Amino acid sequence: MHPFVYTKASDTRQALAAGRDGGRYLAGGTTLVDLMRETVERPRTLVDISALPLREVTVTGRGGLRVGALVRMAEAAAHPKVRALHPVMSQALELSASAQLRNMATIGGNIMQRTRCAYFRDVTADCNKRDPGSGCAALHGHHRAHAILGTSDSCVATHPSDVAVAFAALEATVHLLGPTGERAVPFTDFLLRPGSTPHREQALRQGELITSVEIPAYPRPLRSGYLKVRDRQSYEFALTSAAVALHIRGGVIREAKVAAGGVGTVPWKLPAVERHLIGQRPSPAL
Ligand SMILES: Cc1cc2nc3c(=O)[nH]c(=O)nc-3n(C[C@H](O)[C@H](O)[C@H](O)COP(=O)(O)OP(=O)(O)OC[C@H]3O[C@@H](n4cnc5c(N)ncnc54)[C@H](O)[C@@H]3O)c2cc1C
Ligand code: SF4
């Protein structure tokens, strides 16, 4: 591990000042600290944001949900409003990582987590994401769990988050606070495809902090679920997954929200599948 300075922000103003000066935010620390131990990440300053007041789950408008960036994965999964309104989010979280990790890890940290590509985590391998311009060892190497959608000649790594797949399906918005104020980014624009710059992974500006993720209010109630296929039944990332939310009336699908995980460089929204489902009766074949 490389030497670094640790500082704890007691309010957002302090956090933003440190972030603007190049400090790296630390939430639950469950993935950033690992990457620092492996010297994949070498931040010079860590800004602990765990004391910031970003731990609320609130209902907005008529059934929208706003989840603070520092809400723990376990808290979000168990929250009665999350379970009632969007079981797909709850299920995606419960099928992630392990109980210990979910008790520590946050929603903001989860969507910011970096790929599990083994070459990215091996500092002796060529990896454009870790070391821009060095090449991509996965292109001709071991890539069974890599992406087939949204890839480029520079990188074929998947985004590993499960709850991000639910956020993409439900057309969530990411709320950000930065040195120049607040802004909101549609979730499907927040995580970036690799293109020729795979080291740029999110639409975040220098020093910006995620404050919350918001799922919009849907006029028609959705029933939803998350299906995850993986090499073993727990403590494993998705080989593929699907987040599906449907409004069914009179036995017919009237509205559909669908995204796939594990197969794309970002969670993969499937508008053609959504259009195909609408107007049909659910059946095993469909
Ligand atoms: C063994 C193992 C198995 C796992 N399995 C799964 C799985 O199956 N599915 C899954 O989805 N995840 C899985 N994970 C990943 C786990 O969910 C993440 O480690 C966790 O969600 C990260 O959250 P954190 O709060 O600890 O983030 P941290 O480690 O604190 O931070 C991660 C990144 O997010 C940035 N960050 C954090 N909060 C903010 C913020 N508010 N604004 C801006 N930047 C921020 C940090 O700077 C850092 O770059 C697994 C992890 C491990 C170690
Ligand atoms: S797939 Fe991406 S993360 Fe993996 S080695 Fe290639 S550039 Fe690096």
Domain count, the chain: 1
**Shortest-distance Cα residue to atom 8 of ligand 2:** 127
Q: Which residue among 31, 70, 212, 230 is best mutated to probe the pocket of ligand 1, counting the most ligand atoms within 8 A of its Cβ?
A: 31
d(CA 225, CA 128): 35
> How many whole angstroms separate alpha carbon 129 and alpha carbon 132?
6
Residue with the smallest CA separation from ligand 1 atom 5 is 97
155 lines ligand 2 (CB under 6 A): yes
The predicted pLDDT at position 211 comes to 98
Instruction: Give the mutation target among 35, 127, 196 for probing the ligand 2 site: most ligand atoms within 8 A of CB.
Output: 127
Return the sign of the alpha-carbon dihedral for residues 7, 29, 38, 188. negative
Asked whether residue 186 is domain-assigned, the answer is yes
List the chain residues with pLDDT less than 70. none
Position 113 scores a pLDDT of 98
On whether the CB atoms of residues 173 and 186 are closer than 8 A, the answer is: yes
CA nearest ligand 2 atom 3, residue: 120
Question: Is 113 near ligand 1, meaning CB less than 6 Å away?
Answer: yes
Per-residue confidence (pLDDT) for residue 127, from 0 to 100: 98
* Distance separating alpha carbons of residues 265 and 149, to the nearest angstrom: 6
pLDDT at 61: 81
Q: Is 100 exposed, middle or buried (0-12, 13-18, 19+ CB in 10 A)?
A: exposed
What is the share, in percent, of the chain residues with pLDDT greater than 70? 100
Instruction: Tell whether 256 is covered by a domain.
Output: yes
- Give the rounded percent of residues in the chain with a pLDDT score beyond 90: 97
Residue 65 vs residues 95, 140, 216: alpha-carbon distances, Å: 21, 43, 7
Residues 160 and 285: their CA atoms lie apart, in Å, by: 28
Residue 23, in any domain of the structure: no
Residue 47 domain-assigned (yes or no):
no
Distance from Cα 33 to the centre of ligand 1, integer Å: 10
CATH number, domain at 71?
A: 3.30.465.10
Q: Is the CB of 77 under 6 A from ligand 1?
A: no
Question: For residue 154, how far is its CA from the centre of ligand 1 (angstroms)?
Answer: 24
Q: Establish if 3 belongs to a structural domain.
A: no
Note the ligand closest to the C-alpha atom of 158. 2
Which residues lie below 8 Å from residue 279, measured CB to CB, with a gap of 6+?
Answer: 252, 253
**Domain enclosing residue 65, as ranges:** 54-277
3-state secondary structure 96-123: CCCHHHHHHCEHHHHHHCCCCCCCCCCC
Tell me which of 35, 113, 128 to substitute to probe ligand 2's pocket, judged by most ligand atoms within 8 Å of the beta carbon. Answer: 128
Task: Establish whether residue 129 lines the binding site of ligand 2, counting it when its CB lies within 6 angstroms of any ligand atom.
Answer: yes
Look up residue 104 and give its amino acid: M
Residue 16 within a domain: no
Residue 109 lies in a domain: yes
**Strand ranges in the chain using DSSP code E only, listed in sequence order:** 5-8, 24-26, 45-48, 57-60, 64-68, 173-178, 181-186, 209-215, 223-229, 240-249, 252-261, 268-269
- How close are the terminal C-alpha atoms of the chain, in Å? 51
Please tell me the predicted confidence (pLDDT) of residue 62.
78
Residue 134 C-alpha to ligand 2 middle, in angstroms?
A: 10
Q: What confidence score (pLDDT) does residue 1 get?
A: 77
What is the three-class DSSP state of 76?
helix
What pLDDT score was predicted for residue 176?
98
In this structure, is residue 7 part of a structural domain? no
